[in-house]
Structure 1
Amino acid sequence: MQAAFLVAPEGTEQVELTQPWQAVTKANGTPRLISTAAGKVQAFHHLDKADTFPVDLTVDEATEADFDGLVLPGGVANPDALRLDRRAVALVRSFFDAGKPVAAICHAPWTLIEAEVVRGRTLTSWPSLRTDLRNAGATWVDEQVKICTAGPNTLITSRKPADLHAFCEAFLAEFSH
């Protein structure tokens, strides 16, 4: 299993990157870190700087054809930066167009809204995104993990770091198909 992890150069919530990354590795999969710039990404513990992680590919080098699924970690700044980068948004949309599963946690659905892939879908997220998702045509639910198959692909969403165990189990099951 090849899993793409898309993050901005700065602002991803570290645990929402590292725990799913470790889950992919433990399942004998290969995670790859993709960002909008080469080098390293700066992760955060909420608002405090945490560790840095090396980028494997930029959005210009990555293609959905090389992966079984896409993971979008959260953090407030991370998806906000990604949704302003047309190349990142296009990469996200390409996973939907190819019918490949996508997993997004916490604030990551902001990037999905920008990619215009949430209309008619049912998602969960950090509660502050509820209105944004509804305005984009999605149904928002307050659940630990939501698996939505209404659309060209399976979309797995979760609310927060406390949901990571269920989130990882759900996306690993989908990515392994």
Structure 2
Amino acid sequence: MNYLRICYLVILSFLISSPIIAEDTKVSNDNTKFNIYSGMFDFSDNGKRSALIGFQHQNTDLNRDTFLGNLSPVTGFMFTADSAAYLYTGVQAQYSLGALNIIPSFAPGLYSQGDGKDLGHLLEFKSEVQISLDLFQNSQLGLSYNHLSNASLGDKNPGANSYMFNFLKTF
């Protein structure tokens, strides 16, 4: 079993066990956060890089305190200029250092190649880290990096590295 597959299995086991060891569920008045982002899909591949745009929703009413921090579900999608699409759902944590936020996430999803890069499988896993800065009340600007991989489920696993600029708004 390769290193990447082991990492995904460890992360998945943490996510599955989170509700079992959760301390409590927190409820907030601002329960919906939207993230609109744009950037470069697979910037490290000169032949298949493409502009992307995406949207993500987070419901903070469903967050839980775990030994990994406060986790909440995210769901989103992104499209590239080459008609590739990725629909995903997963979890993210948020660690705040004053006005600076560090937001790692993990989300399995479905990938459609369109005219874009062949990632080798319909099921792809997105690992992401985002750094954002509180701007105004309930608004953030951020920069994120993610990696899509099928964990060698397909015949090939080229992966894709992307960066995005994010605008987050809480309602």
Normalised TM-score (structure 2): 0.24
Kindly name which structure, 1 or 2, has the bigger radius of gyration based on alpha carbons.
2
Normalised TM-score (structure 1): 0.23
| Greater fraction helix | 1
| Greater fraction strand | 2
